[in-house]
Amino acid sequence: MDSVLAELVRRGNGLVTRSVVEQVVPEWILQRACTNGELVRVLPEVFAAAHLLNDQGAPPLSRISPALGRRAVAAWMRGRGALSHLTALDVWGLRQQRPGDLLYVSAPAGSGLRNWPGVRVLRRRHFTLAPPSTVVRQGMPVTTIERALVDSWPMLPLDEQRTPMIRAVNNRLTTPGRLQAVLDNTARLAGRVALRTLLTRLADGCRSPLEIWGHERVFTGPGMPTFQRQVQIRLGQRNVYLDLYAEPERVNIELDGATTHGDPRQREVDLRRDAQLAALGILVVRFAHRRLVREPETVRRETLAILATRRPR
């Protein structure tokens, strides 16, 4: 490869655009690099170093890594669109795309962007390439985290739908209220009822699929108090959060996940925490994932019996 062109590719971390090349070297040098198999056109006017493509029989854009693909799409868009949907979720760090996955772009009507092998362009009314519709993240235009989450909801497998939403709220990247506002402004969305229910549970304080399960099947209904969720308590130099707290009875119900709380080190942390809460007069009752899912009625009866013994007489 011509040394000047090779330097341009190096500076672009494996990518180069025709507009950049033409400022430095003649067109024929770029054409020769493509003919010799040193560069591959992955999008109109965008080229990648051939050694970065895998050997799968797929469109060139689908043969490079998702991270490189996103940069290639950003160079191709030239300010006419923004990464969106599942691709935006990856940029926000909420769900990784796999090699070969479609890359998604949202663009205003009249942007001139069209679908290309490996890229799906969704043209949207009233879409602007500036806040509040889009932001710049990792040097690329991307839809807001709320818009990315809502748009991606019907695209995700059912067993994966809730995870990005829960993670975003737990990491304080957004709030259930902001997500609800975007949902309210989305005209058509498959799975709207299920998404609205999830947002209601998150607004109630549920912070994991297990807590949602418990809320819906165990810890509500006749006899159950209105638990406070994610109550902040100061223990020494740190704050802890109680999954479910019945304040009059001073009972904290903790729902232990199948993975995290099976770790012996985590178990030791839990025991120390429970002892500190006991010193404050708060009884901690823990239910493991297995019992909560397989014996919901038994867990419910045990909870009611414990609460009854703690009520002031």
Q: Which residue has the higher pLDDT, 90 or 1?
A: 90
- Cα 75 to chain centroid distance, Å, stands at 24
Q: Could you read off the pLDDT of 15-56 as tens digits, one per residue? A: 999 999 999 999 999 999 999 999 999 999 999 999 999 877
CATH of domain 209-310: 3.40.960.10
- Total-model pTM: 0.85
Domain ranges within the chain, ordered by starting residue: 3-52, 77-204, 209-310
User: Looking at residue 56, what DSSP letter applies?
Assistant: -
Residue range 133-186, pLDDT digits in tens: 899 999 999 999 999 999 999 999 999 999 999 999 999 999 999 999 999 999
Q: Per-residue pLDDT for 263 more than 90?
A: no
What is the residue whose two structure tokens read 């799975």?
191
CA of residue 294 relative to chain centroid, distance: 29
Give the chain's mean pLDDT: 92
pLDDT at 262 over 60: no
How much is the average pLDDT of 48-67? 90
Provide the pLDDT confidence category of residue 110 given band limits of 50, 70 and 90: confident
Considering all CA atoms of the chain, what is the largest pairwise distance in Å, rounded to the nearest integer? 91
Q: How confident is the model at residue 258 (pLDDT cuts 50, 70, 90)?
A: low
How many Cβ atoms are within 10 Å of 296's Cβ, its own excluded?
17
Separation between Cα atoms, residue 156 and residue 164, nearest integer Å: 10
Position 193 pLDDT exceeds 60: yes
Alpha helices per DSSP H over the chain: 3-11, 18-22, 27-35, 66-77, 85-91, 145-152, 162-170, 176-184, 192-204, 209-217, 264-279, 289-294, 296-310
Please tell me the predicted confidence (pLDDT) of residue 257. 77
% of the chain beyond a pLDDT of 70: 98
Give pLDDT, residue 311. Answer: 83
